[in-house]
């Protein structure tokens, strides 16, 4: 961890990634491993250290590959050398080149670079103990698995599929729960989890341990190409094609996220083809985001169009799967491109316009009508008078998206994370829990499952550590939406002076380029200039120069007319909308009990009260 300007780890109030059964797993070498950023100096020290002890790591696509010396088990290097072999025949570990995470699939552990460094020092530092590790033994949640039956195979509805094919690709059947079961393995081919497909409604579940490093791979080890699919049905369809050149890999968490712990399992592939099924709009950009994580240079993409749909749809439409696979194109466009190279992109977007529009809010239908949806890669500015409800509104706006799987990172520089989390929880529950504390555990357990992360910065912060923490979160947690509340607090400006305006412009430009480069939606909550209360705020009311509203794709303004006229109302004004151009207003009726501005939540509450009128005490 960097000392000066300590980069605080992201506070994670949830472990929505996986259901964890601690008793199944090897104890972690570094159980208090905190997600922290790679310190380039530490990384170079580590590589220098390795050279000194004659350990030569292989520089892979996303990781360094090196023999593991983290625990007692790996005495193989010496033994291998004694047999005239080479040291690198020992058990392999991986160091992520972006985060520095040290991942050893042989004992299914993840540690920090600092901890790993000690294990490679000669002589071993005094006091450093190589804990004895044992091979992780994964205990399945489904003890009654049998071979797939003809009935179970028919239930999949894949024409011509035989149960023998399913058994051949590692599928098993759980008759009581009526589901197909697949084992997830890590880079050392150890079973570390399981993924199941419920035949009744086709929903999938993934169960893994803390290290969440498992993948589902079909194909022989000598294949250097793989097709990445996002669900088990597509995995089954393609695995049963027995493609001569490609392995088939099913991502463990659909399009929601790709844990860095899985990357060692993909290191052996020189080419990866994304052939995804965009199940709902917020994953439209998943392939681009994942490609950035696993090295774009080796990634190709089959852009979903009517003639090149997801594998199971292509099979159903009797399209030639091998022919579609050959048409995969590079994810990353060259510096100069042509309309021809973009043609498929454009066609794909036109045929999937609903997905391209982004995630729809369930609580704010007017926003969907005007903004069409919430899209990755955009910059939104929210402003409004002091105390008008910017944080409260943004809290509910982000909650709505997170409830639909949009992984969200909050940077709350003004109010404490606990107060923000309490607001989010109350908006989630729909009423205060202070006099229903017996319900807290239930709601907190439900709430924890959502992909919500909070930076632990508070008050004034330099931009660099904030951007580094956001970049880290977008890599490790596949964050899709970042909220900075509020920018002036982060900059620590009470009164804007000339250089502060310049500084703010530089910060806005940095967030703008981050949003575009990492394909993450960034929302900046900003104070307005001091203006007369009776005047409407406009895009030029935003603090600082015009750069903020010029760079922004969307400008949202809370107008509060209650302060200046008897019949005054409070509403949200869409003052800028680069995507579809529609401007307009959304009334903001406030439900104090639920801290909600949502007309949907309020009308649902009124309906409930009609059915069960509240008895007055």
Ligand X SMILES: Nc1ncnc2c1ncn2[C@@H]1O[C@H](COP(=O)(O)OP(=O)(O)OP(=O)(O)O)[C@@H](O)[C@H]1O
16 binds, among ligand FES, ligand X, none (CB under 5 to 8 A by kind): none
104 binds, among ligand FES, ligand X, none (CB under 5 to 8 A by kind): ligand FES
Using rule CB under 6 A, residue 450 touches ligand FES:
no
Taking CA 599 as the corner, what is the angle to CA 594 and CA 605, rounded to the nearest 5 degrees?
55
| Spatial distance between the Cα atoms of 542 and 539, rounded to a whole number of angstroms | 6
Minimal distance, residue 111 CB to ligand FES, in Å: 8
Residue span binding ligand X (CB under 6 A) among the ranges 90-98, 217-225, 382-390, 454-462 = 382-390
Using rule CB under 6 A, residue 559 touches ligand X:
no
390 binds, among ligand X, ligand FES, none (CB under 5 to 8 A by kind): ligand X
Say whether 611 sits in a helix, a strand or coil: helix
389 binds, among ligand FES, ligand X, none (CB under 5 to 8 A by kind): ligand X
Residue span binding ligand X (CB under 6 A) among the ranges 36-44, 389-397, 399-407, 497-505 = 389-397
91 binds, among ligand FES, ligand X, none (CB under 5 to 8 A by kind): ligand FES
Residue span binding ligand X (CB under 6 A) among the ranges 5-13, 114-122, 246-254, 380-388 = 380-388
- Where residue 485 falls (left for φ over 0; alpha for ψ -120 to 50; beta otherwise) is beta
Using rule CB under 6 A, residue 431 touches ligand X:
no
Please report, as residue ranges, which positions from 78 to 117 form the binding site for ligand FES (by CB under 6 A). 91, 93, 104, 106-107, 109
Which structure tokens are listed for 54?
């004659």
Nearer to ligand FES, 73 or 374 (CB): 73
Say whether 156 sits in a helix, a strand or coil: helix
Nearer to ligand X, 214 or 384 (CB): 384
Q: Residue number with the shortest CB distance to ligand X?
A: 389
Minimal distance, residue 415 CB to ligand X, in Å: 7
Using rule CB under 6 A, residue 68 touches ligand FES:
yes
| Cβ-proximal residues to 616 (8 Å cutoff; 6+ apart), any chain | none
Using rule CB under 6 A, residue 213 touches ligand FES:
no
Minimal distance, residue 108 CB to ligand FES, in Å: 9
Q: Which of 384, 405, 411, 430 binds ligand X (CB under 6 A)?
A: 384
Nearer to ligand X, 45 or 591 (CB): 591
> Using CB atoms within 10 A of its CB, is residue 211 exposed (0-12), middle (13-18) or buried (19+)?
buried
Residue (of 247, 252, 242) closest to 226 by Cα position: 247
> Using CB atoms within 10 A of its CB, is residue 320 exposed (0-12), middle (13-18) or buried (19+)?
exposed
Is the separation of the CB atoms in 252 and 216 below 8 Å? Answer: yes
Size of the site for ligand FES (CB under 6 A): 12
| Spatial distance between the Cα atoms of 255 and 257, rounded to a whole number of angstroms | 6
Residue span binding ligand FES (CB under 6 A) among the ranges 68-76, 286-294, 333-341, 459-467 = 68-76
Please report, as residue ranges, which positions from 120 to 139 form the binding site for ligand FES (by CB under 6 A). 133
Site string for ligand X, 449-488 (x = CB under 6 A): -------------------------------------x--
Q: Which of 106, 388, 427, 559 binds ligand X (CB under 6 A)?
A: 388
Size of the site for ligand X (CB under 6 A): 14
User: Could you write out the three-class secondary structure of 175-213?
Assistant: CCCCEEEEEEECCCCCEEEEEEEECCCCCEEEEECCCCC
Using rule CB under 6 A, residue 192 touches ligand FES:
no
**Phi, psi for residue 266 in degrees, rounded to 5:** -105, 0
| Spatial distance between the Cα atoms of 321 and 237, rounded to a whole number of angstroms | 10
Residue (of 109, 63, 451, 517) closest to 257 by Cα position: 451
For 303-363, where are the E strands, in sequence order?
329-330
Q: Which of 111, 208, 380, 392 binds ligand X (CB under 6 A)?
A: 392
Residue span binding ligand X (CB under 6 A) among the ranges 208-216, 278-286, 379-387, 509-517 = 379-387
**Measured CA distances, 531 to 331, 438, 516, 535, 587 (Å):** 47, 46, 32, 7, 22
Residue (of 528, 539, 532) closest to 496 by Cα position: 528
Q: How far, rounded to the nearest angstrom, does the alpha carbon of residue 610 sit from its chain's CA centroid?
A: 40
Is the separation of the CB atoms in 282 and 358 below 8 Å? Answer: yes
Site string for ligand X, 563-582 (x = CB under 6 A): -------x------------
Which structure tokens are listed for 541?
């009311």
Minimal distance, residue 74 CB to ligand FES, in Å: 4
User: Could you write out the three-class secondary structure of 80-117?
Assistant: HHHCCCCHHHCCEEEEECCCCCEEECCCCEEECHHHHH
Using rule CB under 6 A, residue 111 touches ligand X:
no
Using rule CB under 6 A, residue 494 touches ligand X:
no
Is the separation of the CB atoms in 407 and 256 below 8 Å? Answer: yes
| Cβ-proximal residues to 222 (8 Å cutoff; 6+ apart), any chain | none
Q: Which of 194, 414, 478, 553 binds ligand X (CB under 6 A)?
A: 414
570 binds, among ligand X, ligand FES, none (CB under 5 to 8 A by kind): ligand X
Nearer to ligand X, 290 or 597 (CB): 597
386 binds, among ligand FES, ligand X, none (CB under 5 to 8 A by kind): ligand X
Minimal distance, residue 485 CB to ligand X, in Å: 7
| Cβ-proximal residues to 101 (8 Å cutoff; 6+ apart), any chain | 33, 95, 110, 111, 112, 113, 260, 261
554 binds, among ligand X, ligand FES, none (CB under 5 to 8 A by kind): none
Residue (of 175, 167, 171) closest to 144 by Cα position: 175
| Chain residues that interact with ligand FES, rule: CB under 6 A | 68, 70-71, 73-74, 91, 93, 104, 106-107, 109, 133
| Chain residues that interact with ligand X, rule: CB under 6 A | 384, 386-392, 414, 486, 570, 590, 592, 595
């Amino acid at each position: 961890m960097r000392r000066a300007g300590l980069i605080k780890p992201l506070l994670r109030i949830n472990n929505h990634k996986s259901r964890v059964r601690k008793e199944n797993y090897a104890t972690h070498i570094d159980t208090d491993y905190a997600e922290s950023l790679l310190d380039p100096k530490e990384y170079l020290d580590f590589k220098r250290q390795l050279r000194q002890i004659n350990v030569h790591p292989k520089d892979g696509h996303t990781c360094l590959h090196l023999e593991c010396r983290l625990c007692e088990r790996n005495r193989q290097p010496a033994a291998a050398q004694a047999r005239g072999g080479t040291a690198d025949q020992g058990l392999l570990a991986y160091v992520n080149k972006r985060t520095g995470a040290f991942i050893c699939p042989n004992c299914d552990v993840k540690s920090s670079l600092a901890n790993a460094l000690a294990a490679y020092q000669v002589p071993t530092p005094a006091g450093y103990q190589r804990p004895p590790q044992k091979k992780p033994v994964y205990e399945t949640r489904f003890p009654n698995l049998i071979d797939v039956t003809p009935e179970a195979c028919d239930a999949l509805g894949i024409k011509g599929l035989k149960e023998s094919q399913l058994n051949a690709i590692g599928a098993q059947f759980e008759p009581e729960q009526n589901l197909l079961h697949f084992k997830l393995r890590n880079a050392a081919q150890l079973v570390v989890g399981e993924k199941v497909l419920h035949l009744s409604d086709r929903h999938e579940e993934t169960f893994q341990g803390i290290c969440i490093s498992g993948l589902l791979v079909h194909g022989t080890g000598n294949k250097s190409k793989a097709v990445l699919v996002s669900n088990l049905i597509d995995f089954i369809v393609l695995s049963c094609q027995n493609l001569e050149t490609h392995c088939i890999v099913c991502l463990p968490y659909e399009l929601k996220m790709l844990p860095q712990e899985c990357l060692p399992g993909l290191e052996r592939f020189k080419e990866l083809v994304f052939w995804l099924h965009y199940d709902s709009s917020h994953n439209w950009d998943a392939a681009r985001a994942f490609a950035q994580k696993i090295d774009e240079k080796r990634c190709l993409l089959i852009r979903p169009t009517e003639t090149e749909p997801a594998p199971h749809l292509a099979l159903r439409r009797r399209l030639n799967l091998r022919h579609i696979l050959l048409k995969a194109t590079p994810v990353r466009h060259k510096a100069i491109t042509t309309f021809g190279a973009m043609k498929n992109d454009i066609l794909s977007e036109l045929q999937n316009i609903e997905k391209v529009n982004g995630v729809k809010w369930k609580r704010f239908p007017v926003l969907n009508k005007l903004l069409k949806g919430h899209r990755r890669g955009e910059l939104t500015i929210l402003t409004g008078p002091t105390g008008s409800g910017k944080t409260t509104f943004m809290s509910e706006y982000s909650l709505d998206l997170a409830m639909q799987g949009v992984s969200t990172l909050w940077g709350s520089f003004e109010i404490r994370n606990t107060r923000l989390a309490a607001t989010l929880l109350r908006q989630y529950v729909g009423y205060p829990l202070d006099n229903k504390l017996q319900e807290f555990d239930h709601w907190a357990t439900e709430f924890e499952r959502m992909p919500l992360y909070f930076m632990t910065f508070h008050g004034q912060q330099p931009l660099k550590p904030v951007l580094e923490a956001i970049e880290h979160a977008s890599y490790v947690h596949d964050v899709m939406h970042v909220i900075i509340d509020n920018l002036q607090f982060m900059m620590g400006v009470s009164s804007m002076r000339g250089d502060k305006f310049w500084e703010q412009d530089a910060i806005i430009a940095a967030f703008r380029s981050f949003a575009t480069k990492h394909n993450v939606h960034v929302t900046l909550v900003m104070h307005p200039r001091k203006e007369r209360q009776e005047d409407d705020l406009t895009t030029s009311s935003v603090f600082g120069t015009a750069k903020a509203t010029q760079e922004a794709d969307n400008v949202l303004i809370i107008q509060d007319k209650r302060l200046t006229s008897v019949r005054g109302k409070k509403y949200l004004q869409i003052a800028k909308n680069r995507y579809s151009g529609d401007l307009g207003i959304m009334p903001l009726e406030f439900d104090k009990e639920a801290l909600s501005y949502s007309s949907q939540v309020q009308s649902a509450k009124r309906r409930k009260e009609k059915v069960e009128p509240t008895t007055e005490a």
